[in-house]
Amino acid sequence: MRLRLPTLGRQGAWAVVDQVLSSGTNFVPAILLARVLGPSDFGAFSLAYVAWFSVLAIIRSALMTPYTLDASAAEGARWRDITKRAGGAIVLVGVFCGVVFAIVGLVIGTSSEVGQALLVVGILAPGLALQEFWRVAAFAASRARTAAANDAYWAAGQVVAFSALLVFGNATVVTSLFAWGAGAWLAAGLGTVQLSVRPRVDLAAVRWTREWLGVGAYFTATTAIFAAGSLGVAVIIAANIGNVGVGLFRTVQTMFGPVQLLTIGGASVFLPYLVRGIKSGADGTRESQRYSLLMTVFVTIYGVALLVTAHTLLTNVFGPTFDAAAVLVLPMLVAFALDTVASGAGLLLRARALGGRLLVAQLIGTVARIAGVAVLVSVGGLRGAGWGLAIGSGITTAVLWAQVALSSRGDAAFPDATTLTTAHELVPAEAG
């Protein structure tokens, strides 16, 4: 399997554009609404917003990543059939989540701002989920430009909706959420035209979900453990240093935001590429190593530039009180670089549908991160917490590549849910 750099480079460039647009449809409205709504209403908006993206993370892991494994190597009528069934599953799950949000909103009460916000998310949920699915489908079909265009439709819809709110001066929690999600419904509808596919909301969608439920469960558990680890690190820092420590950590993470767009965009393109190579009989290890090396070079260059300018950026962009976060830039750079070294291994395990191995690596890495931060924060304060995180990232990286090596060797003694056997399907692994 040759690494077709020109093709992947073009796809990767469009993937980064897509990530910029995707982040923009969430970040820019948040800034606008914080100024227009005020702290109380914006707080209700934020609670509903965070609740939805927490659910969306589960949908991505449980259904959209398995879809990528199923569809990336398919073409023509087969690709359309898989996409129709998976799209139907996404719509059904979106409706189900919408009903849950609506019920919770009604229980809280329609007189409450939070209750109203959750009701609106319940209405928007199917369109929000389907819009995200079209992006994933476009990447699976090697059409990253289509994914970027779909996010551009969402952005255009938001511009119109928020302009109307500002002109007519009717910005409330409810209208603001509708304005934020209206573009997603527009993009969800236009996605059917872009990809010439309509979701099948029938038993075929249910059967597709059942076929991939085992694989998706491992990916979902991996995501949940990662989220729990991030929360655990924040709690430890808050307990030892206070909220200011969490704030300084978050500030440095924000400074690495631009390069994170690159890594997320690269993963969106590289995972389907790996799936296609593996289903054609390739191993994928060397390509994953090259991908990790390339991403690590970009991250390191950016991180070194950030390290040199840290004091200036923190003082002039965030304010003089944030200058204390400068001690975190070097350990966070090391942690982020190590995570990038591991990125190819994580994507390769996903492409091979080895969710069990990925879950074990994430569990070990999460325990290492929490333990490292807990031990070193008491010794070195904020700087120690940063190096504890870096140590955890190093252990995670080592375990992930070890799992890749074991799976490449065909270690049948390790229990897992599935194994790739043909160019088109996944079947249960034989007992070890």
Q: Looking at the structure, do residues 233 and 154 belong to the same domain, yes or no?
A: no
Q: Looking at the structure, do residues 309 and 380 belong to the same domain, yes or no?
A: yes
CA angle 208, 211, 212 (to 5 degrees): 95
Is residue 372 in some structural domain? yes
Q: Looking at the structure, do residues 151 and 184 belong to the same domain, yes or no?
A: yes
Q: Tell me which H or E stretch contains 211.
A: helix 203-240
Is residue 206 in some structural domain? no
Instruction: Render pLDDT for 277-325 as a digit per residue (tens, 0 to 9).
Output: 898 888 899 999 999 999 999 999 999 999 999 888 888 877 888 888 8
Q: Looking at the structure, do residues 195 and 229 belong to the same domain, yes or no?
A: no
Q: Looking at the structure, do residues 380 and 248 belong to the same domain, yes or no?
A: yes
Is residue 208 in some structural domain? no
Which of 201, 231, 254 terminates a domain? The answer is 201
Supply the pLDDT for residue 31.
63
Is residue 48 in some structural domain? yes
Q: Looking at the structure, do residues 173 and 253 belong to the same domain, yes or no?
A: no
Instruction: For residue 413, name the pLDDT band (cuts at 50, 70, 90).
Output: very low
Is residue 357 in some structural domain? yes
Ranges of beta strands (E only) in 140-284 are none
Residue 120 has pLDDT above 70, yes or no: yes
Domains held by the chain: number: 2
Q: Looking at the structure, do residues 182 and 265 belong to the same domain, yes or no?
A: no
Lookup: tokens for 380: 């070195």
Instruction: Render pLDDT for 196-236 as a digit per residue (tens, 0 to 9).
Output: 999 999 999 999 999 999 999 999 999 999 888 888 888 89
Range name among 82-91, 133-142, 201-210, 315-324 with the lowest pLDDT average = 315-324
Distance, CA of 94 to CA of 92 (rounded, Å): 5
Contact 361, 419 (CB under 8 A): no
Q: Looking at the structure, do residues 173 and 243 belong to the same domain, yes or no?
A: no
Average pLDDT, the chain: 85
CA angle 353, 354, 360 (to 5 degrees): 145
Q: Looking at the structure, do residues 181 and 311 belong to the same domain, yes or no?
A: no
Alpha helical stretches, state H, 241-284: 243-255, 257-279
Q: Looking at the structure, do residues 114 and 227 belong to the same domain, yes or no?
A: no
Q: Looking at the structure, do residues 16 and 124 belong to the same domain, yes or no?
A: yes
Is residue 333 in some structural domain? yes
Is residue 325 in some structural domain? yes
Distance, CA of 83 to CA of 350 (rounded, Å): 19
Which of 173, 201, 229 terminates a domain? The answer is 201
Instruction: Render pLDDT for 394-412 as a digit per residue (tens, 0 to 9).
Output: 999 999 999 999 988 754 3
Average pLDDT over residues 182-205: 92
Supply the pLDDT for residue 430.
30
Distance, CA of 45 to CA of 159 (rounded, Å): 18
Is residue 207 in some structural domain? no
Which of 170, 201, 232 terminates a domain? The answer is 201
Q: Which domain holds residue 319?
A: 217-428
Q: Looking at the structure, do residues 184 and 75 belong to the same domain, yes or no?
A: yes
Supply the pLDDT for residue 222.
93
